Structure 1
Amino acid sequence: MASSAPDRPARLTKRLRAPGTVEVPAAHLGLRWRALGADDVPAVLDLHARCAAVDRPVASLSPATAAAAFDPRHEMVTDSLGGFSADGELQALAVVYLPPGDTDILRAFLTATIAPSWRGRGIGRALLDWQDGRARQLLAADGRDLPARIAAYVDEHLADRRQLYVAAGFSPKRVFQEMRRPVRAPVPDVELPAGVRLVDWTPELDDAVRLAHNEAFADHWGSQPLAPESWAVVLRELEPRWSKVALGAAPDETVVGYAMTCRHESAWESLGFSEGYTELIGVRRTHRGRGIARALLVDVIDALAADGIDSAGLDVDTVNPSGAHGFYERLGYTRAGARILYTIEI
């Protein structure tokens, strides 16, 4: 006798309640809407620059990030919508993207930007409704029956944007704090454990570092394995001289730790100083508690100092299970802002 129970993918579809169609924001809002592509990257950067002058975001959009977001060669599932005024200028945009490689939870991330002169007209809520509908459609199309999450990062100081997400049914889930320290401030003396040595990152080490990262972050909230495609996007502005890898004992010399630091030079003018930003740092669980992370960061700071860089930056989950927040404070990093992750859990 055949079971009458729905198959597993159908259960996710039921939870998602994905709409059959998703309408773009209405014409009375004053903008013409279409999908964005690689040719729109200059307009996207211009819109973000206009918004940044008002919003003072914790993190700015770099040309490399914008180019990656609209590169048709990337495997990331993405949809976008741009709103253009009568003069052809981009005044609003929304993006929905699903990172490849998720194994335990399916995630859809939302980003949106509206020109300051076009705010207060209902465009933000209309875009969020479009994003929510498209996110549900894209998640349903995956076909797997897993937990799902629709998520957006919001700068802590942007109260109106936070209220928008709450009104749409999102809840604050996590706080990620931006931290930085002056490169010229004293650093502690460090001693590597026996059998461990530090080297600069090289392309030959890249995939081994990626796999080490996936293992190191397996016990971190919200983390999913980074596929090669996502890894390349996260580290699109990697600076090899500032990126350090800890290798274990010979003869295998397995990657046991890493600190991947990027050169987001397009942000330096708005920051008012130069900075090396450590996008990813981690140590395999089998090697934690031996001073490897401290040695990696001190080596990064020394490399930044050698290149005349002013600041070392990174971000951290404020409830990181490894106590990373306090660890960074003890190395001289201080709070420089925060982003809140708002989610709908499905």
Structure 2
Amino acid sequence: MTLPALPSTALGLTWRPITPDDVPAWHELVRAIEDVDDPGERYTAEDLRDQLTDGSWKDPSADTLMGVDADGVPRAFGHVEVRPGDTRAVRAFCWGGVHPQWRGRGIGRDVLAWQERRGREKIAAAGKDVPSRILVHADEHVGTHRRLLEAAGFRLVRWYLEMTRPLDDAHPAPDVALGGGLRLVPYTDDLSERVRHAHNEAFADHWGSEPRSREDWERASVGGRTFRPQWSFVVLDGDEVAGYTLASAYEQDWAAQGYRSGWTDALGVRRAWRRRGIAPALLAASMRAFRADGMERADLAVDAENPSGALRLYTGLGFTAARRSTAYAKDC
């Protein structure tokens, strides 16, 4: 199969890379897509700028694509990312969209084909003798997106549940005591590297997880605009990090979802410390911190097939599923 270097100009658009100067207009396009598709995750203009500039390894001149109409207005885009820290499998993440008024013309199909080609090129350039795949995430309810992926030969490989829990007087955070010398402490910057290493160990047996480099960790986790250290906690055993939770505020999502929430980005317990009540203690601490700052709900996402029992943990703490999303893949 020969994949196109660029989508066809016969589709009525002219194609070029996305630049930082395009961010305001790109954001307008993304908002138009969000208004129709109602995704679980929404983007600010700052988020989009980060997609282009917040990694020394990023190359938007080669890894992004924007289709503009005759007036220079963006109507479609594509973005491909291969993270340099991948060691067990090299993954090309593809994200894109087409303005709702420009759908049904084959634009999405051609953008996806360009993304697959670029993803394969980047995987080959990584030069790693490990499994590799092209990955695309899609909200369950956006049937047109999922049908596009299936028609292009992508297969459904994972379901994710977005879960929510109220934080009102009728649903107080549970009291979870820790024993055996374990201490629950607030997250502080001096713990960052120890927490990163704990995260890489805790998620080593999770599907699709790869080690986080220091740059990526500080860029996208503990150094991001949305990160809230006052909502994040660590359990220590002496000086060892046994478990941790990192939380964020995605304020751009609040209007669409209809409530203010604290979001648990990462929750992990190292294998040697599992089954000692650490995960529920961490979540309960975050719930209390969310509520103290006026949040109405606690939210998180979980791989429905997570073998660690995370789904049972969350439902046992009062979380319920609010929506579902999917991951589609094509092995290289």
TM-score normalised by length of structure 1: 0.90
- The letter for the 1-side match of 2:296 is D
Q: What percent of counterpart residues are identical?
A: 42
| 1:214–1:226 Cα contact (<8 Å) kept | yes
Partner Cα separation in structure 2 for residue 178 and residue 76 of structure 1:
29
CA separation of 1:63/1:300 partners in 2, compared to 1, >3 Å: closer, same or farther? farther
The Cα shift of 1:66 comes to 1.5
Partner Cα separation in structure 2 for residue 241 and residue 126 of structure 1:
44
| 1:77–1:100 Cα contact (<8 Å) kept | no
Q: Which runs of 4+ in 1 moved over 6 A?
A: none
- The residue that corresponds to 1:24 in the other structure is 6
- The letter for the 1-side match of 2:305 is V
- The residue that corresponds to 2:230 in the other structure is 241
The partner residue of 2:122 within 135, 138, 157 is: 138
- Deviation sequence 1:290-318 (CA, Å, 0-9, x none): 00000000000000111111111110010
Partner Cα separation in structure 1 for residue 297 and residue 50 of structure 2:
26
- Deviation sequence 1:263-293 (CA, Å, 0-9, x none): 1112212222111111110100000000000
- The residue that corresponds to 1:123 in the other structure is 107
Partner Cα separation in structure 2 for residue 293 and residue 151 of structure 1:
29
- The residue that corresponds to 1:99 in the other structure is 83
Q: Does 1:344 align with 2:330?
A: yes
The partner residue of 2:204 within 218, 222, 234 is: 218
- Deviation sequence 1:117-174 (CA, Å, 0-9, x none): 0111100000011011111111111122211111010101111111111111110001
The partner residue of 1:75 within 53, 57, 60 is: 57
CA separation of 1:93/1:272 partners in 2, compared to 1, >3 Å: closer, same or farther? same
Partner Cα separation in structure 2 for residue 73 and residue 318 of structure 1:
30
Q: Give the 5 Å matches for 1:295-306.
A: 295-306=281-292
The partner residue of 2:18 within 32, 36, 39 is: 36
- The letter for the 2-side match of 1:202 is T
Q: Does 1:60 align with 2:45?
A: no
CA separation of 1:178/1:234 partners in 2, compared to 1, >3 Å: closer, same or farther? farther
Q: What SS class does the counterpart of residue 24 from structure 1 fall into?
A: coil
Q: Does 1:195 align with 2:186?
A: no
The Cα shift of 1:99 comes to 1.3
The Cα shift of 1:229 comes to 2.5
Q: Does 1:280 align with 2:269?
A: no
- The residue that corresponds to 1:147 in the other structure is 131
The partner residue of 1:330 within 316, 320, 327 is: 316
| 2:52–2:58 Cα contact (<8 Å) kept | no
Partner Cα separation in structure 1 for residue 325 and residue 55 of structure 2:
29
Alignment size in residue pairs: 325
| 1:68–1:233 Cα contact (<8 Å) kept | no
